[in-house]
Copies of this chain bind each other. A is one copy, B any other.
Amino acid sequence: MLTERQLLILEAIIQDYTDVGRPIGSKALERQLPMHVSSATIRNEMSVLERLGLVNKEHSSSGRVPSLKGYRYYVDNLVKPDAIDKQTLESIRTSFGSQFFKSDEILAESAQILSEMTNYTAIAFKPESKDVFLQGFRVMPMGKQRVMVILAMSDGTVESQIFNLPKHISGEELEAMVRVINDQVVGLPITQVVDKLQESIPLLLHYVHQPGGFLDVFGRILDKAAQDQFFIGGKLNMLNFVESGDIEQIKTLYSLIDRYDDINDLIGNSGENIQVKIGNELTNSSLANYSLISATYDVNQHGKGLIALLGPTNMPYSKMIGLLGTLREEVASRLLDYYNAYDE
C-alpha cells in the first residue's frame, strides 16, 4: 500500500508527464508538490515507486516516467472524471446538427465531434445488433435484366444493391422467387440468413439457374452491413503519436483502423460503462504508445453501443474520461430521440 505522499508524487509525475512529455525529476517535483519536502526525500520516495514498478527511468540518470503499470494504478485508484463545464456541453450540443436522416449520421457526427474536441482518434459503434432480424426483402426491377435487391433490418437499417441477372427471368418468375425467399428467411436473425438460403437452393433452382450468384448478393449486402457498424473521426490524429519517421508503424496503424474485426478485437469491451486499456493491454504491438478509453451507451430496447477514444498513453485521463462520460449520454439521447420520432 502506498503512503499519502507517494500517491501525491505518483499523481504529480503522471500529470507533469502528460503536460510536458519529458521525464520528471526530483527538483521539479519539489517546487510543485502541495507540501514541502526536499528533493532528496522525493528521490527516496521515487525509488520506492520505481521498485514497485509504477515509474521508470529512461536511463540511469534521468527523471522518472510513469510506467504502464503506473498508469493502470492511476486509472484504477486515483483518477476522478473531470466535470464538463457548461460551455463545453453547450458546444457539444450545437455541434450535433439538428436533423438526421439516418441513425448512422448521429454516430458519424459524434465520432467527428469527439475527435475534434480531443485531437485524438474517435470511434463510434452502432448499437449491438445481435437481435436484429431480417424484416423485409424486396426485389425491384430496374430495366431489362437488372434488379435492385433491398433488405430491411429490424433495427431500421436498410441495405440495397443493384445486380444484373445473368439470364433473362420473367416477371412472374421473379415474383415467385421473391415469395420463396420471403417465406424462407424473413424473420430470421441476419446471421442465419445466408445459411438458411443455402439450404433452400433446391427450391430456388426452379427459378434461378445460378443461385450461387444470388447468395453472393445476400452475403455482400450483409457483409456491408457488418462493415458499416462503426464510424471513425480524426483518423489522421493517430499519426501525431508515432515515433517520428516510422513509416512502417504508420502503415500498420492505418490498415488496422479500417477493419471492423481488428477494431472490435482491439476494444474488446467487457461491458463496463467506461473501460481504459493502456499500452500493452492493447493486443496490437504497434499500439504500445496508445491508450484506448471506451464507453458504452444504452439505447434501451435498441441495445447497447460504444464510443471510444484512441490517444497516447500519456493523455489526460481524467479530462477524457469525463468527456466520454458526457458524450455517451448525449449520443444515447440523440439516438433515442431519433428512434422515438419514427418508431411511432
Contacts and interface: CB of A to CB of B under 8 A. Distances in A.
Contacts of A217: 101
Kindly name the residue among A102, A142, A144, A244 whose own CB sees the greatest number of chain B CB atoms within 10 A: A142
B102 A162 contact: yes
Interface stretch (A86-94, A150-158, A184-192): A150-158
Contacts of A101: 161-164, 216-217, 220
B161 A142 contact: no
Interface stretch (A59-67, A195-203, A235-243): A235-243
Contact of A99 (B146, B213, B236): B213
A342 B150 CA distance: 21
A245 B247 CA distance: 8
Secondary structure dominating the interface of A: mixed
A143 interface: yes
Interface string A223-260: 00000000000001001101011010011001100000
B254 A164 contact: no
Contacts of A242: 247
A309 to B, nearest CB: 19
A72 interface: no
A341 interface: yes
Contact of A239 (B152, B157, B216, B247): B247
A255 B247 CA distance: 17
Contacts of A102: 161-163
Given A143-B152, A236-B255, A247-B239, A158 B164 contact: no
A322 interface: no
Interface of A: 99, 101-102, 135-136, 138, 140, 142-146, 148, 150, 152, 156-158, 160-164, 213, 216-217, 220, 236, 239-240, 242, 244-245, 247, 250-251, 254-255, 341-342
5 contacts: A143-B152, A148-B160, A150-B160, A160-B160, A250-B250
